[in-house]
Amino acid sequence: MTTTEPAESIETPAAGRDAAAGRGAAAERGAAPSTADAAKAALEAARDHLLGLQSPEGWWKGELQTNVTMDAEDLLLRQFLGVRTDEDTREAARWIRSQQAADGTWANFHGGPPELSTTVEAYVALRLAGDPPDAGHMLRAAAHIRDAGGVPATRVFTRFWLAMFGLWPWDELPVVPPELMFLPPWFPLNVYDFGCWARQTIVPLTVVGALRPVRPLPFGLDELRAPGARVPGARAPGAKPRRGLPGWDEAFGALDKALHVYERHVRDRRPARALRRAALRRAGEWIIARQEPDGSWGGIQPPWVYSLLALNLLGYDLDHPVMRRGLAGLDRFTIRDGTGRRLEACQSPVWDTVLAMNALADAGLPAGHPALERAAEWVIREEVKGPGDWSVRRPGLPPGGWAFEFDNDCYPDTDDTAEAVLALGRVAHPQAGPAIERGLRWMAGMASRDGGFAAFDADNTRALCRKLPFCDFGEVIDPPSADVTAHVVEALCAQGMADSTAVRRAVVWLLKAQEPDGSWFGRWGANHVYGTGSVVPALIAAGVRPGKPAIRRAVSWLERHQRDDGGWGEDLRSYRDPAWIGRGVSTPSQTAWALLALLAAGERGGTSPAVDRGVAWLTAHQRPDGTWDEDHFTGTGFPGDFYINYHLYRLVFPVSALGRYLKESGSP
């Protein structure tokens, strides 16, 4: 892979302001005589700030920021259900406008390029809010949409929303029939072949797509039609059949045509209608069985909104308890402040809490510290003790582990479980031991056949799912990844299981997964910096010696990609464009990830210029209140498509890195 610097500049005025603010904060603390002294002062301030963010119940939760499609789709959902209010609309529109770029577009992450589907959904939401199409910001948005190909060039999910309001023909959308519910788990393309997030989204969408509702809006979108663009429903000019042996695209295109024919049979023939009614009934029961106590589905936005739509279309009115809980639960995910009203796509209290616990332990808090004890008490109560969809692939495995959210009992994940095991192992709590044992047993049992670990399911690797015409946005399967596998290895080793079969097989998997350049790909964080920062500490914990070639190549990769300012950063465009791998504006979380890997590999302050410069970057950019600014997104939902700014990452990971730096340097 090429790692040359992208042609465009990655320095921004905001980065310069951040640096100036950091220097000012350092000056307020006074000039430190050494890197270690500066690191100690920075750690104390960051530790105190982190402690001050803990809730009385013991948990931590930072905002989980994504993009404006969450807010646009929330308004469209409320319009469809007839519950949209003027206040909600006004405040959401204010937030959406605040995120618009000067060229009229919206991006999927801070500093990212224009994204067509996001721009279309934001535009429609603002039209719904009453923004006139001849307003300047709307004219700029419409011009970009036309230049980019108009509505026909958007992703399927965007056109799905438009179809519900009569702005796109249902016949021009891929078909995913609810009869999918009858496929057994061993049959290709059954619902359990999809990752849990995709599965929970696709099932309700089969209902919506089968019932094809149209609830018109009081406006059209003719102004978005690109010159010369094909009118929906018309035959594409010059289209010729492909010759030769069909590939997967042709095969699934033929399947989609057959499914469209089947849809016509459903309307015209009684046996097909009976099968369709049974399929819709089963889909509805499946959806209801997976609603969480807080009213959500999986604790994430896509299945939540589509489940509400599906159930409403199946006859559940807004007064039904399932619908009431679902709509009320959205309020808990809604943030209202001076910038407007915005919806979190998810919430991460378990993840944030166990990361904060591990960071504070790295910072030197004793095992019996009250903050850690309160957090442990809360984490233990959050343990998932019942079966979930993961049981389909591992039916004999006893339950255990932790999920990401406040309420998500159907979908614990190995990543949160690994960090929870690490955190509980560092506190003094009488109930921690049994919870750890259950978590270890469940986590080890979720290994895939190849020895690696995925987040939510085992052996969820059927790539055929990606070929469906419906699946043109986001990852839809959950194969093992280097970052998750590394976290599991680290947790198992911390509990004395370094010689276990699960760890040995996972280490082999990690070594095989190393990229030719020495890095590791990051599935759930940006990107190779995250993957490498996760894997190196895990391999060292598993007994791989720092001098081994795999570790030295990783160290060399990190050193080569350190920025001139001493930090590390990797732009999210690296998922699409290899020129961005390891390149980007320096951020606190990514700098900390690199430092955690270097320190684990035996690099030490005073002897490693890379470590000293990285620590100096953190201390120079710290805010006066002890935390850091981080506008750039460093979390990943779907590589290449959907990204996250975890607002607590900018604090917990620097605390861990500074704490470990001081411990390894022998500073008190």
Residue positions annotated with a catalytic role: 415
The DSSP letter of residue 567 is -
Q: Find, among 176, 226, 179, 182, the residue nearest to 205 by Cα.
A: 176
Contacts of 439 (CB under 8 A, 6+ apart): 383, 400, 401, 402, 417, 420, 421
Which residues, in sequence order, are bridge partners of residue 64? 646
Report d(CA 29, CA 44) in Å as an integer.
12
**Helix 86-98 with 116-128: angle, nearest 10 deg:** 140
| Beta carbons of 568 and 586 less than 8 angstroms apart | yes
From edge to edge, which strands make up the β-sheet containing 64-65?
Answer: 64-65, 642-646, 635-638
Residue linked to tokens 């998810």: 346
Q: Which DSSP letter does residue 512 get?
A: H
> How long is the chain?
668
Torsion of CA 626, 630, 633, 634, to 10 degrees: -50
Counting Cβ atoms within 10 Å, is residue 5 exposed (0-12), middle (13-18) or buried (19+)?
exposed
CB 521 within 8 A of CB 513: yes
User: Can you name the residues that pair with 335 across neighbouring β-strands?
Assistant: 342
Separation CA 90–CA 273 (nearest Å): 43
Which amino acid does the sequence have at 370? P
- Residue closest to 358 by CA, chosen among 654, 44, 41: 654
Burial bucket for residue 85 (CB in 10 Å: 0-12, 13-18, 19+): exposed
The burial of 569, by beta-carbon neighbours within 10 Å (0-12 exposed, 13-18 middle, 19 or more buried), is given as: buried
Q: For 157-169, b where at least 16 C-beta lie within 10 A, e where not — what string?
A: bbbbbbbbbebbe
CA dist 203 → 127, 199, 269, 288, 310 (Å): 30, 6, 24, 11, 9
Name, in order, each residue with C-beta under 8 angstroms of 289's C-beta and a sequence gap of 6 or more. none
Q: In degrees rounded to 5, what are phi and psi of residue 248?
A: -65, -40
